[in-house]
């Protein structure tokens, strides 16, 4: 009988997305293949790691867990830690030093995709449709006239954050500075983006063996002015999976998602968000650790694809062990 592998489902963190991470990890722990893996939910709190079920602190020298007289060493880390320090690639460096493989994108790809403006700069030569944007840095003088030249409305949001924290839709000049200050509460960089009117979509991708699987597309119809935190996690949006698109549109969006997954050298699960305007899917952002809550798109899309959560988790884990 094959030895079961010890999997640390890493969650928590010290950022605004902590609550989402905890819910996502609970879903992963519920659906992980228990005939192949021993799943331990490990929570990052401050600068320490704790086993969620016992409260025991892990030894950071080797990321081991002492359970009675038994020292548990982990074969793989399942990253379900949204935002810093996983989606920005920092924690992957720690595990690389320890020789413990992690699910998902490596430290470089994670750092690249977590930075919205750098992702745009990287993809621009490939002709990917994207909104015009400007990057603001904390302490820098804001050139309001340059921002206004992109036209209203403008979206102002943290450059390196997720779950729509600190996002504002701005339609008059006097709101630009206060909205930027709001975003600076979450990041030292802020991106100001041209508004693209259109329908919003999200598309998950992952690798199963040698095959890249592109899932059915979700359309997001927010009850709010835009797809903010409440729309994402407090049921203030309508989500349609599979999306009401023509066959041609569906194939175009899924082909773009696969191309982006390959261009960015993604691994594990990734999700690409788009606005459809004038027949073209404009990339909003790439998420390298998609949410796995009951409300999240990726599980919805797996269900529409006819694949169990467990089968997907198996594929993600088997890619790195």
If one counts every other C-beta atom within 10 angstroms of the C-beta of residue 35, the result is 9
> What is the rounded distance in angstroms from the CA atom of residue 77 to the CA atom of residue 63?
10
- The pLDDT confidence band at residue 166, using thresholds 50, 70 and 90, is confident
Annotated domain spans of the chain? 5-104, 111-129+198-318, 133-194
Strand blocks (E) in 209-242:
211-222, 237-240
pTM of the model: 0.89
- CATH code for the part of the protein at 111-129+198-318: 3.30.470.20
**Percentage, residues of the chain above pLDDT 90:** 87
Residue 79 gets which letter from DSSP?
E
Residue 180 CA from chain centroid, whole number? 23
Please determine whether the domains at 5-104 and 111-129+198-318 fall in the same fold group of CATH.
Answer: no
In CATH terms, the fold of domain 5-104 is: Rossmann fold (3.40.50)
> What is the rounded distance in angstroms from the CA atom of residue 262 to the CA atom of residue 212?
9
**Percentage, residues of the chain above pLDDT 70:** 94
Asked if pLDDT for residue 234 goes beyond 80, the answer is: no
In CATH terms, the fold of domain 133-194 is: Dna Ligase; domain 1 (3.30.1490)
The model's pLDDT over 142-153, given as tens digits with 9 standing for 90+, comes to: 999 999 999 999
Determine the pLDDT at residue 15. 86
> What is the rounded distance in angstroms from the CA atom of residue 25 to the CA atom of residue 192?
32
Mean pLDDT (the chain) is: 93
Determine the pLDDT at residue 232. 45
Asked if pLDDT for residue 259 goes beyond 90, the answer is: yes
End-to-end CA distance of the chain: 17
Calculate ∠ Cα 143-144-145, nearest 5°. Answer: 95
The model's pLDDT over 109-122, given as tens digits with 9 standing for 90+, comes to: 999 999 999 999 99
What residues does 79 pair with on adjacent strands? 10
- The pLDDT confidence band at residue 164, using thresholds 50, 70 and 90, is low
The three-class DSSP label of residue 160 is coil
Determine the pLDDT at residue 179. 95
């Amino acid at each position: 009988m094959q030895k079961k592998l010890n999997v640390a489902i890493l969650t928590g963190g010290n950022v605004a997305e902590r609550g989402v991470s905890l819910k996502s990890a609970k879903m992963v722990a519920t659906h992980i293949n228990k005939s192949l893996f021993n799943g331990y939910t490990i929570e990052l709190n401050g600068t320490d790691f704790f086993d969620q079920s016992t409260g025991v602190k892990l030894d950071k020298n080797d990321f081991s867990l002492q359970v009675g007289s038994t020292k548990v060493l982990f074969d793989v880390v399942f990253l379900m830690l949204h935002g810093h320090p996983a989606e920005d690639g920092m924690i992957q460096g720690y595990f690389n030093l320890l020789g413990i493989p992690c699910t998902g994108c490596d430290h470089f790809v994670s750092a690249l995709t977590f930075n919205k403006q750098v992702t745009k700069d990287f993809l621009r030569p490939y002709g990917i449709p994207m909104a015009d944007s400007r990057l603001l840095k904390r302490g820098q003088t804001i050139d309001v006239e340059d921002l206004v030249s992109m036209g209203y409305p403008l979206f102002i949001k943290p450059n390196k954050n997720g779950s729509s924290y600190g996002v504002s839709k701005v339609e008059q000049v006097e709101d630009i500075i206060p909205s930027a200050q709001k975003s600076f509460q979450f990041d030292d960089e802020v991106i100001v983006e041209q508004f693209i009117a259109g329908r919003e979509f999200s598309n998950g991708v992952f690798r199963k063996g040698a095959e890249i699987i592109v899932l059915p597309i979700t359309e997001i119809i927010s009850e709010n002015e835009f797809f903010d935190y409440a729309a994402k996690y407090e049921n203030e949006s309508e989500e349609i999976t599979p999306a009401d698109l023509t066959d041609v549109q569906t194939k175009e969006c899924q082909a773009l998602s696969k191309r982006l997954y390959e261009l960015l050298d993604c691994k594990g699960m990734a999700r690409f968000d788009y606005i459809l305007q004038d027949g073209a899917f404009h990339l909003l952002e790439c998420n390298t650790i998609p949410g796995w809550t009951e409300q999240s798109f990726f599980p919805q899309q797996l269900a529409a694809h006819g694949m169990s959560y467990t089968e997907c988790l198996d594929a993600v884990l088997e890619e790195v062990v």
